[in-house]
Amino acid sequence: MTVKASHILVQTLTEAEAIHNKIAAGGSFADLAKEHSSCPSRNQGGDLGFFNRGQMVKPFEDATYSLQVGELSKPVQTQFGYHVIQRTA
């Protein structure tokens, strides 16, 4: 099954939690990604496009596949830092 997701990558859990709370309170995911994410996907508002299982690191993949479309994850730690993920399709 293919999914589509956006993410915001930051270095600390504190940053990720603050961003998660801003989005949960109605903040724009894309705007916060452009402002805070350290991933090159920031230029597309965090959009990673479509991907299948096996293409992303396991903690990221597991979190994304557990979300419903439109749902926002709690911060997820990988070797790259902390991600706030939104499944978009």
Residue ranges of domains in the chain: 3-87
Cα dihedral 23, 30, 50, 85 in deg (nearest 10) = -30
Q: DSSP H helical segments within the chain, as ranges?
A: 13-24, 29-36, 58-66
Question: Does domain 3-87 bear CATH number 3.30.70.20?
Answer: no
- The pTM of this model reads 0.97
In the prediction, which pLDDT does 63 show? Answer: 98
CB-hemisphere CA count at 13 Å for 1? Answer: 7
The rounded distance, in Å, linking the Cα atoms of 71 and 62 is 14
pLDDT along the chain (89 residues), means of 10: 97 98 98 98 98 97 98 98 98
